[in-house]
Each structure stands twice: as C-alpha cells, then as structure tokens.
Amino acid sequence: MTVDKGNKLARVSLDNGSGEKLATDPKLDSGSQKRIGDQLRAMYDELMQQPVPDRFRDLLEQLDKNGQKDGSQ
C-alpha cells in the first residue's frame, strides 16, 4: 500500500518536471529576453562588420608562399 502511494507520487513529480531541471531556475519574461538578445546581436554585428585587419590576410598569404617554397610550416 505505502509502496503504491510512493510510486504514484514519484510518477506525478516526474510528469511535472518534464522540462528538464531548468524548470527550477527562474526565467526571464520573453520581452526582457528579446531585449537582451537584440542588444547582444547589435553589439556583435558591429564587431562583425569591422574590416579584417591586414595582419590576418598577410599571415595566410605568407603561409601559402612558404608552403609553396618548402612544403613545411
């Protein structure tokens, strides 16, 4: 009897917790979440649009030349 009850309770709590353990963490409302996301992407987009510094182009070209010369590096 007591065992049955225990099983039922366990099943109920499993059903309630179907959304992983995240369900116990507080969550932001969707409006705030969107606002944070928008600001994050705006900041990131600005960084993505910065011109690629010459050093990276030079680096890859340099390696290409070296590679053709001696096949190492």
Q: Select 5 or 21, whichever has its Cβ closest to another protein.
A: 21
Q: What gap in Å lies between CA 65 and CA 20, rounded to an integer?
A: 53
Q: What gap in Å lies between CA 30 and CA 10, rounded to an integer?
A: 31
Rule CB under 8 A: choose which of 3, 13, 42, 54 binds another protein.
42
Q: What gap in Å lies between CA 49 and CA 51, rounded to an integer?
A: 6
The answer to whether residue 41 forms part of the interface with another protein (CB under 8 A) is yes
**What is the binding site for another protein (CB under 8 A)?**
20-22, 25-29, 31-33, 35-44, 46-50, 52-53, 55-57, 59-61, 63-64, 66-68, 71-73
